[in-house]
Chains A and B, each alone.
Chain A
Amino acid sequence: RKEVEQDPGPFNVPEGATVAFNCTYSNSASQSFFWYRQDCRKEPKLLMSVYSSGNEDGRFTAQLNRASQYISLLIRDSKLSDSATYLCAVSPKTSYDKVIFGPGTSLSVIP
């Protein structure tokens, strides 16, 4: 089993739609969780960190479920500019440790 897995995608949604991505992780000791956005042929950029209580940033909501070992990203009112690949990232332990990226889920928002 891979350490971090994501919905295979691609997701093709119309403008204005709500779309949700899930990401599962295998290491129950994981402490930190992130969603990154990667545009085509560009570098990943942090979209948001994921906190235990869940967090929201405008149209984006991230949630963490430790019991089931998954994180989710909800995008409301999708814009054309949201088209990108969304990578989840998990840090196995606090401090001095690496971040493991998932393979990403591709989103295309269609006019």
Chain B
Amino acid sequence: DAMVIQNPRYQVTQFGKPVTLSCSQTLNHNVMYWYQQKSSQAPKLLFHYYDKDFNNEADTPDNFQSRRPNTSFCFLDIRSPGLGDAAMYLCATSRVAGDYEQYFGPGTRLTVT
């Protein structure tokens, strides 16, 4: 039973061409997170939503935007991907922030050509 679903699993985009990654959840969790993870590095939090309340990390580039139209869905928009944005993008959910287990989706591996 998939609980956090990410589409697509693999995405290839051209330098500068906008791309949208999607995440959906069946857990009805309040919090949804987007992480960027590069090889052999920690998942880096880009932003998170507590319900509709958007929380952006201070060092997240403006190139990255997010939308959460409802509880179940969350989108990551990369307006002008650069070569340095090639990474695994992980969506996660938790019932509330901080104290509770995060459930991760399988990730979308983004390649920028």
Q: Which residues of A contact B (CB under 8 A)?
A: 4, 31-32, 34, 41-46, 49, 87, 89, 91-104
Contact = CB atoms under 8 A, between A and B. Distances in A.
A97 B98 contact: yes
B104 A45 contact: yes
A43 B101 contact: no
B48 interface: yes
Given A42-B106, A43-B104, A98-B48, A31 B42 contact: no
Contacts of B41: 103
A55 to B, nearest CB: 14
B96 interface: yes
Contacts of B81: none
Q: How large is the interface on B (under 10, 10 to 19, 20 to 34, 35 or more residues)?
A: 20 to 34
A96 B31 CA distance: 9
B40 interface: yes
Interface of B: 33, 35, 40-43, 45, 48, 50, 55, 57, 88, 90, 96-99, 101-102, 104-107, 109
Contacts of B96: 95-96
Contacts of A34: 101
A67 B105 CA distance: 35
7 contacts: A42-B106, A44-B90, A44-B104, A46-B102, A96-B50, A98-B33, A104-B42
A94 B35 CA distance: 20
Given A46-B102, A91-B98, A101 B48 contact: no
Contact of B99 (A87, A94, A104): A94
Given A4-B42, A44-B104, A104-B42, A95 B99 contact: yes
Given A32-B98, A32-B99, A95-B98, A44 B43 contact: yes
Nearest to B44: A101
A32 B57 CA distance: 20
- In the A-B complex, the 8 residue pairs with the smallest Cβ-Cβ separation, listed nearest first, are A43-B104, A91-B98, A101-B42, A97-B98, A103-B42, A46-B101, A101-B43, A32-B99
A43 B42 contact: no
